[in-house]
Structure 1
């Protein structure tokens, strides 16, 4: 039996996995959705990136989980990738779902044109508000799904985006699957692109947008279960 710990990206809490977790459990696995500090029901808690790394480690240790597959979507791939190397032999695999990946010494905003995000942080007291509904166009989401993300989403703590990642080992040492959602573009972030090209990481493509837990929850659950069986 695999134990999945699934973590959603910016603005989202554990509720984002409401349609995925039951599918993982129905397939015979344990599944735990985690809300990171400062978001959803934990809104108002001060949080930086290393706070989020520790959130994930603490959840694994609190539940005394073994055979763990850590799943990070979007922003949360950065703390999930760091937590993955720190939970030692508890880890079976890490799955990055259309996410950033940690680069030692770099923040989640490094490596792509992030000036609009930095401007938003400066204008909103150091938090990143959920986007306008129009920003979700072309992402395979219904109007109801977009409304839920925007309405239930909470401002994302800016320090988690600007603090640098800390890795003790090369990222390629992790057993990993990268899930690329093609409606959000087909380019992988560095160094995931090189690790996939070299065959060290598995690549799975999904023909949907950046939020597959909403747009394709059954397909995403299947991808996660299949990833867990990879050597």
Structure 2
């Protein structure tokens, strides 16, 4: 039985996977959603990027997961990708869901015009503000889904976004599936495109927006299932 450890992106907690977990369990898999430090029910817990990496490693060890597929959405690809190389032979695969992929010495904000985000973090006491409804428009989400995300989102610890990743090898060396959500942006980023040249990586496309665990949960559960077989 494959075990899935699901980690949502910035500002979200384990609750974001509530519509995906049943589909995985119905397919015979173990499915465990993790809230990272400083978010959702863990608000107030101090967190830097390596805290989030350790959150993932500790959860794998706490649950004694074997043959584990680590799933990172959006920001969480950064800590998940680092944790993947630290859990050794427990790892079966990494799935990056429209996610950033870590690069040694580079932060989540590397590679894009981040001055506005950095300024917003500084102005908000070291946190990236929660989502507004406007942030979620045009992403294949219903009004109900947008309301659900806005109500559940929390401010995100800024240090996790600005601190650099620590890797000993390229993510391309580990087996991975990259799920590209076409409505968010039709092409993988340059670094992801480079990793996809590896025979250990595969690309799967979804015709939806950046939050498929809300907009297309059953389809996402099927893709995750297929990544494990």
> For the superposition of Structure 1 and Structure 2, which TM-score range results when normalised by the shorter chain?
over 0.9
- 1:16 equivalent to 2:19? Answer no
Partner of 2:152: 152
Distance between the aligned counterparts of 1:131 and 1:145, measured in 2? 13
Partner of 1:37: 37
Distance between the aligned counterparts of 1:9 and 1:189, measured in 2? 17
Shift of 1:199: 4.1
Distance between the aligned counterparts of 1:190 and 1:108, measured in 2? 15
Partner of 1:189: 189
CA contact (8 A) 2:11 2:131 kept: no
Partner of 1:48: 48
Distance between the aligned counterparts of 1:201 and 1:173, measured in 2? 9
RMSD of equivalent CA atoms: 0.9
Distance between the aligned counterparts of 2:86 and 2:26, measured in 1? 29
Distance between the aligned counterparts of 2:200 and 2:93, measured in 1? 12
Give deviations 1:15-44, integer Å, cap 9, x for gaps: 000000011001000000000000000000
Q: Give the TM-score taking structure 2 as reference length.
A: 0.98
Shift of 1:190: 3.9
Aligned pair count reads 229
Q: Give the TM-score taking structure 1 as reference length.
A: 0.97
CA contact (8 A) 2:172 2:196 kept: no
Give deviations 1:152-176, integer Å, cap 9, x for gaps: 1000000000110000112111100
Give deviations 1:94-136, integer Å, cap 9, x for gaps: 0000010000000000011122211210110110012321121
In structure 2, stretches of 5+ residues that fail to align are none
Partner of 1:100: 100
Moved over 4 A (4+): none
